[in-house]
Chain A
């Protein structure tokens, strides 16, 4: 566990970068420092590996003051990832990744084997090992940066806006893989970002910093969205706060209806009275939407409107399901299982009747208003 005890950083000019910050970053979890620029979040991160020395207060790792170790030695035991990766242009990818093992005087063969293993872990081809950074895209470089930080298997990782410099599509990809990796590795991670969405997506615990280095709120993502401590936090979280809380509501308890689901072999007359039906194949995979009133005979002959987005029951959140409902021509979200077979459909209003509670990777913190929303209505 990383513990901040009244950490203050004041620069000679009088600028205060950190103002009496106290906080815990629990083991095996992702703690996100988020805030406006100049909020001191990066400074806070850098006090952990002594890249910045606090003016007063202490930073402890498992109860031991970081100042008891020499900076270079301390840092070799802590993974470090920065915004533009900061790869060494003169070293090959494998030698970049093996930087810390080399510093720790592993033999070259062992260090390179470790590098190759990590390349696979972070989703890079082993064949890229002999390339140089200038031959890699920004997203690939960032993966190398993560692999490099993991090389000596440090229990702690410090990540300073690691995904901020890549385009949104690659960023989402890197975030997903990062979460998958963390599921396997269970590192104690401190992650700095200015992007509140990234903080909510990745964080087990979020610390919000305000200009002047003040820590204004430390909370779970669910609580942060539900109960921002003050106007600053509320403003920082921004709009759509309500919709965002749906990201933490699971879809496993959702009641889905099979009424509107028909195999392609069925006759349109069977579905008379329904506005839209979802046509599925033998494996119950969705083929498309159609209006039975406009079809004579088998549904297989009907013109189909595209299914649009679907959601994975259990794995996806209510927010994803709601999105699918809005995008569907029928106004119904299509829930599928892992194989992509349709389980059932739900209308947008049914989705909102689901109490918002987490069921995924995050700590479950029930949001206020559960009871107010009452029981979910039947689907159909």
Chain B
């Protein structure tokens, strides 16, 4: 208990030091960098994962292939990918590619499973009442699969926010900077400070998704057993 209190105290003195709030090394700048990397990666991953997941789920074709590729992608260590790609080309792009590769599988798999699990009777009724293929996807499959899709997006978002710390390794800043610098200088306070910020950010992401869930998912889905 005492130990935990010390950690919090350590973090608090670090956080409230005025030097933390200015310049390229200050928290606001690092936080923005971190959010920027995370946001861009997540957006790309969402576009890829949703598009593939919806198409594969809707047509019912290529499901096995898509899921297999997603699972193989999951097995690639992100850190290794970053180092490997950075050696080839020194820029932020490899870092983003690594984060996208990390984020696509949960989104893809959940979207695919969500669409596939839509009650076949509801799909048949939708078609039989005169919805086009797009209509069925847009008006029935997507909204019904939304709880699972959102879960996939949340998983990816939290992973990306936590993993974006690796951007600091090849020297692109972000909140990871504090952790890497702290480890290099044996500055324990810096390590704890950076880590706690990343954890807080992940919690905020969690809260945002809880809010989204209440806002955009139909109560008709949350009330049934299919709530996630």
Measured between beta carbons, the chain B residues less than 8 angstroms from A83 are 121
Q: Which of B126, B139, B146, B220 has the most CB of A within 10 A?
A: B220
Evaluate whether A90 and B127 lie within 8 angstroms (CB atoms) in the complex, with A132-B219, A134-B224 already known. Answer: no
Say yes or no: is A312 at the interface (Cβ < 8 Å to chain B). Answer: no
| Interface contact B144-A89, CB-CB below 8 Å | yes
Residue count of chain A within 8 Å CB distance of chain B = 32
| Interface contact A99-B129, CB-CB below 8 Å | yes
| Interface contact A82-B129, CB-CB below 8 Å | no
Measured between beta carbons, the chain A residues less than 8 angstroms from B132 are 72
Q: Which of A51, A76, A88, A92 has the most CB of B within 10 A?
A: A88
Measured between beta carbons, the chain B residues less than 8 angstroms from A99 are 126, 129
| Interface contact A148-B129, CB-CB below 8 Å | yes
Evaluate whether A51 and B128 lie within 8 angstroms (CB atoms) in the complex, with A88-B144, A133-B220 already known. Answer: yes
Evaluate whether A132 and B218 lie within 8 angstroms (CB atoms) in the complex, with A82-B121, A86-B119, A88-B140 already known. Answer: yes
What 0/1 readout, one digit per residue, does chain B (109-153) give for beta carbons within 8 Å of chain A?
Answer: 000000000010111111111111001000110011010000000
Measured between beta carbons, the chain A residues less than 8 angstroms from B129 are 75-76, 80, 99-100, 103, 148-149
CA distance A75 to B127 in the complex (A): 8
| Interface contact B119-A89, CB-CB below 8 Å | yes
* CB nearest to A77 among chain B residues: B130
Evaluate whether A134 and B223 lie within 8 angstroms (CB atoms) in the complex, with A51-B127, A82-B128 already known. Answer: yes
Say yes or no: is B201 at the interface (Cβ < 8 Å to chain A). Answer: no
Measured between beta carbons, the chain A residues less than 8 angstroms from B55 are none
Measured between beta carbons, the chain B residues less than 8 angstroms from A100 are 129-130
Measured between beta carbons, the chain B residues less than 8 angstroms from A90 are 143-144, 146, 218, 220-221
Say yes or no: is A85 at the interface (Cβ < 8 Å to chain B). Answer: yes
CA distance A149 to B220 in the complex (A): 21
Evaluate whether A80 and B128 lie within 8 angstroms (CB atoms) in the complex, with A86-B121, A89-B119, A89-B144 already known. Answer: yes
Mark out the residues of chain B between 206 and 228 whose CB falls within 8 Å of any chain A CB in the assembled complex.
Answer: 218-221, 223-224, 226
CA distance A12 to B71 in the complex (A): 34
The one of B122, B130, B224 that contacts A76, using a Cβ cutoff of 8 Å: B130
CA distance A380 to B60 in the complex (A): 71
With A82-B125, A90-B146, A149-B129 known, 13 other A-B pairs at CB within 8 A are A51-B128, A73-B130, A75-B127, A76-B129, A83-B121, A86-B124, A88-B139, A89-B224, A100-B129, A103-B130, A132-B223, A134-B220, A148-B125
> Interface residues, chain A, CB within 8 Å of chain B?
49, 51, 71-77, 80, 82-92, 99-100, 103, 132-135, 145, 148-149, 158
Q: Can you list 25 pairs linking A and B with CB atoms under 8 Å apart?
A: A51-B127, A72-B130, A72-B131, A72-B132, A74-B130, A75-B127, A75-B128, A77-B130, A83-B121, A84-B119, A85-B121, A86-B122, A86-B124, A86-B125, A88-B125, A89-B119, A89-B144, A89-B220, A90-B143, A90-B221, A99-B129, A103-B135, A132-B219, A134-B220, A134-B224
